[in-house]
Amino acid sequence: MLDVNHIRKDFPILSRTIYGKPLVYLDNAATSQKPTSVIQSLVDYYESYNSNIHRGVHTLSMEATDRHEDARSKCTRFIGAKEDKSLIMVRNTTEAINLVAQTWGKHNISAGDEILTTHMEHHSNLVPWQKLAEQNGASLQFIELDEDGMLNLSNIDDLITERTKLLALTHMSNVLGTINPVKELTAVAHKMGAKVLIDGAQSVPHMKVDVTDLDCDFFAFSGHKMLAPTGIGVLYVKPEILESMEPFLFGGDMVSQVWDDTATWNDLPWKFEAGTPNIADLIGLGAAIDYLESLGMDQVREHEMALTGYALEQFDRLNDIKVFGPKDLSKRGGVISFHSDDVHPHDMGTMLDREGIAIRTGHHCAMPLTRKLSVVATARASFYIYNTEEEVDKLTAAIRATLDYFAK
């Protein structure tokens, strides 16, 4: 198991107080905190070798280029991809999915085709497909959920047909914590000739992921949820698919040759990385990967399963609180969304903030799912490597006090 007390010393923000109370940060599904090593990687870049990359011949440019591409290689290794050229650097998961929709999707999904997704998707893995279907005359189909917040796959053979061109689904739900059987679903989709896009924003920070083993065609994730800075994300695409895709943005470093009336494109992956990239934050992502690998992703997962199990036990002791998502810890990540009929989630979040406890409230960018759950919003606590059972106790005690306050 992880030495959480030792890990906490690496995160300066965890020494902060809120309203005179020690910070209890339980909003990790929205963004994670950053260790000193990641923060220092940014300082080192700007203090020591700040320069634009790839085409410079001076020392600073070559150092920055080497660090930038080394960080790309770390990402490749971390998700089990085979080649660096399969990874496109973007701002976040949202941009990655939009890139796929407006490049591959625009040219491969036509009138009469179907895009299959689920009712647990983040808006970022739903709205781009809504717009693409509208533009190209395709239709959206949905895999329903069962009462435990798992995908109902009893009719999957009827849902994935010869009309299905893309299966787009989350690896782990940011609301329910549900871990979907993406490898099995990818195999079913491929048998019908469909491509598969996996939203890995919630899975990559918390468990070992191997895109080669999953055999997915597209895989997207963000750095800021896995200890890295904001503004950096990764899109993995199988090389043979990437070769056939047209660029999304034009100009800058994505060109090879330019004439008055035409241009040719750079090699992969730079063909899809127009303009000056987010150099510093990719280097920061590389430092975050170093940190996570030093812990071991299996240990990260074990810690969160144990903490989530403990938290669910404590929530069971709370009256008038409904918890959403699977009960089986092997099929659930470290996310607990909950609701009280007596206290609005925003009031809950405000009261907990006065105790120094940071949670997320609202629809969590998953409004169709919120409607399926028959609530206007939920409160959500989400865990990471630096969270403890003591913090869970503070959370449940504060929830109980809030319920008592509004019952008066």
| Interatomic CA distance for residues 147 and 120, integer angstroms | 13
Q: Is 216 a catalytic residue?
A: no
Q: 366 near 350, Cβ under 8 Å?
A: no
| Interatomic CA distance for residues 79 and 210, integer angstroms | 5
| Interatomic CA distance for residues 59 and 222, integer angstroms | 30
| Interatomic CA distance for residues 149 and 319, integer angstroms | 21
Tokens (6 digits) for 218: 């597209």
Tokens (6 digits) for 206: 């918390």
Of 365, 373, 392, 399, which is the active-site residue?
Answer: 365
Instruction: Report the chain's terminal Cα–Cα distance, integer Å.
Output: 42
| Interatomic CA distance for residues 309 and 328, integer angstroms | 9
List, by residue number, the catalytic residues. Answer: 365
